[in-house]
């Protein structure tokens, strides 16, 4: 057995991609993010190339200087939003998952045979309001209040707002303020560029006529059209998030209607004061990442040293490919992007069973070795780990969606 040191990000579950040896964390699909980069950089480059020289000379050199500063601020906020950890909650280690299972079993008591056990919900009182905490089958934890599971990234994210494909990442507790500042500064930049483009066209038209102006600077106009349309959407988005911040709500809560309408539960997190809410969300403490992506851990790998030892390795490979060809039953019903996916429930049962049976060091070691489809027989006292199929609420939700 060869032991090598790996960075923890290499062994993190979930569907994130990591760059720069774990310093950068993004979602898997980055296509729309590249489009965002292209649009911003493209529009600004054309503005600086074609319009700024004229404006600097005829109006003021402060105009391009301010535009450059604003551009750098927008890029900094975008990259900060896209590359940082949104507030991902690490999954429960096997011992913690087992502990929670035993607590649930104790609370539920004896469920008569044939009957589904009650849904896994924990009621907590927060600032005088009763809030329900749901159990996440993928991460094996009761989600903290305001956390939600992103099915695109396959992680539970604290204070989950939404998954934004434009920035290629989830927006959560740790990067919400950067996201807001990005939309705000982008609105300002778009308005700024659009305004000065019009000023430029007007000034040139006064001097040399409208048609000649269009002929002189043809390259900018496609991007001005882009600018015009993005202006409305970005300004609208900024307005929407300003409204959410003033009420200390997340997009997720707003969409679900958690604090409005027939539920009649007031938002327990709001300070009931717009200024306090804004200060908390935008100027509150900078939360650290709890993922420890760059920490080192030991990874035991079976290394085949001779031809004979390759055979069990091949057998393992065959088993895993068999498992991949005939995947365990998945729900085909469409899921709302921030609902949990019950897909990982069954394979992870075998994983945690093996890990528990081996009883190695308490430090986290999530192995990416192909797990055997058959569960380990060495477990004795641990209650069977539940899956959503045995849970009343999740199966009801799946049925509703299938309709």
Partner 1 sequence: MERAGTHGEMTLTGEKRDWTHSLQDMRQQAAIAAKVFIQRDYTNGTVCQFQTKFPSELETRIDKQQFEETVRTLNNLYAEAEKLGGSSYLEGCLACLTAYTIFLCMETHYEKVLKKIAKFIQEQNDKIYAPRGLLLTDPIERGLRVVEVTIFEDRSLGR
Number of residues that bind partner 1 (CB under 8 A): 49
Q: Is residue 319 a contact residue for partner 1 (CB under 8 A)? A: no
What letter would DSSP give residue 6? E
Q: 151 Cβ partners below 8 Å, 6+ apart?
A: 335, 337, 338, 339, 340, 341
Q: Which is nearer to partner 1, 225 or 265 (CB)?
A: 265
Q: Is residue 381 a contact residue for partner 1 (CB under 8 A)? A: no
d(CA 384, CA 403): 30
The total of other beta-carbon atoms located within 10 Å of residue 213's CB is: 17
Joined tokens for residue 124: 């907590």
Whether 144 and 133 have beta carbons less than 8 Å apart is answered as yes
Catalytic hit among 150, 164, 170, 227: 164
Contacting partner 1 (CB under 8 A), which of 1, 106, 211, 286? 286
Smallest distance from partner 1 to CB 169, Å: 16
Instruction: Name the phi and psi angles at 286, rounded to 5.
Output: -85, 110
Of 27-35, 137-145, 252-260, 307-315, the segment contacting partner 1 by CB under 8 A is 137-145
d(CA 47, CA 61): 14
Smallest distance from partner 1 to CB 172, Å: 12
Q: Is residue 141 a contact residue for partner 1 (CB under 8 A)? A: yes
Tokens 């096997």 correspond to 94
Active-site residue flag, 44? no
Smallest distance from partner 1 to CB 321, Å: 33
DSSP for 137-158? TTTTEEPPTT-EEETTTTEEET
Q: Which is nearer to partner 1, 213 or 289 (CB)?
A: 289
d(CA 50, CA 217): 7
Tokens 């102006």 correspond to 213
Q: Is residue 285 a contact residue for partner 1 (CB under 8 A)? A: yes
Smallest distance from partner 1 to CB 250, Å: 11
Smallest distance from partner 1 to CB 98, Å: 9
CA quadruple 371, 373, 374, 375: dihedral, nearest 10: 50
Q: Is residue 131 a contact residue for partner 1 (CB under 8 A)? A: yes
The total of other beta-carbon atoms located within 10 Å of residue 169's CB is: 27
Joined tokens for residue 137: 């089958």
Contacting partner 1 (CB under 8 A), which of 45, 60, 108, 127? 127
Smallest distance from partner 1 to CB 341, Å: 20
Of 34-42, 75-83, 307-315, 339-347, the segment contacting partner 1 by CB under 8 A is 75-83
Binding mask 91-120 for partner 1 (x = CB under 8 A): -xx-xx--xx--------------------
Q: Is residue 280 a contact residue for partner 1 (CB under 8 A)? A: yes
3-state secondary structure of 318: helix
What letter would DSSP give residue 199? H
Tokens 């890029």 correspond to 75
Q: Which is nearer to partner 1, 173 or 204 (CB)?
A: 173
Residues designated catalytic: 164
**Contact residues for partner 1, defined by CB under 8 A:** 5, 72-73, 76-77, 80, 89-90, 92-93, 95-96, 99-100, 124-127, 131, 133, 141, 144-146, 159, 178, 181, 268-269, 279-280, 282-288, 290-292, 294-296, 359, 361-364
């Amino acid at each position: 057995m060869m032991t090598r040191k790996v960075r923890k990000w290499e062994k993190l579950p979930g569907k994130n991609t990591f760059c720069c040896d774990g310093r950068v964390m993004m979602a898997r699909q980055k296509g729309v993010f590249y489009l965002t980069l292209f649009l911003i950089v493209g529009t600004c480059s054309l503005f600086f190339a074609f319009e700024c020289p004229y404006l600097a000379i005829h109006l003021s050199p402060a105009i391009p200087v301010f535009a450059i500063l604003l551009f750098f601020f927008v890029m900094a906020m975008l990259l900060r939003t896209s590359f940082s950890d949104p507030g991902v909650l690490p999954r429960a280690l096997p011992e913690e998952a087992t502990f929670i299972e035993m607590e649930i079993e104790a609370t539920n008591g004896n469920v008569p045979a044939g009957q589904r056990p009650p849904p896994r919900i924990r009621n907590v009182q927060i600032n005088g309001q009763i809030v329900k905490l749901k159990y996440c089958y993928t991460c094996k934890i009761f989600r903290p209040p305001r956390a939600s599971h992103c099915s695109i990234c396959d992680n539970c994210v604290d204070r989950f707002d939404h998954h934004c494909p434009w920035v290629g990442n989830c927006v959560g507790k740790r990067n919400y303020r950067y996201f807001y500042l990005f939309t705000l500064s982008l609105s300002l930049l778009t308005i700024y560029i659009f305004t000065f483009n019009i000023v430029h066209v007007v000034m040139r038209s006064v001097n040399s006529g409208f048609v000649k102006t269009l002929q002189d600077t043809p390259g900018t106009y496609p991007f001005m059209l882009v600018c015009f349309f993005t202006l409305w959407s970005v300004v609208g988005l900024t307005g929407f998030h300003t409204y959410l911040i003033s009420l200390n709500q997340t997009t997720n809560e707003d969409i679900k209607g958690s604090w409005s309408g027939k539920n009649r539960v007031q938002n327990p997190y709001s300070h009931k004061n717009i200024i306090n809410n804004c200060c908390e969300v935008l100027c509150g403490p900078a939360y650290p990442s709890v993922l420890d992506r760059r920490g080192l851990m030991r990874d035991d790998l079976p290394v085949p040293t001779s031809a004979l030892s390759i055979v069990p390795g091949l057998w393992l490979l065959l088993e895993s490919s068999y498992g991949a060809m005939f995947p365990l039953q998945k729900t085909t019903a469409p899921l709302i992007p921030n609902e949990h996916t019950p897909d990982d429930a069954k394979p992870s049962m075998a994983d945690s069973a093996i890990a528990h049976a081996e009883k190695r060091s308490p430090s986290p070691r999530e192995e990416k070795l192909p797990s055997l489809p058959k569960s380990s027989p060495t477990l004795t006292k641990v209650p069977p780990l539940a899956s959503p199929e045995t849970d009343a609420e999740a199966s009801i939700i799946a049925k509703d969606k299938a309709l």
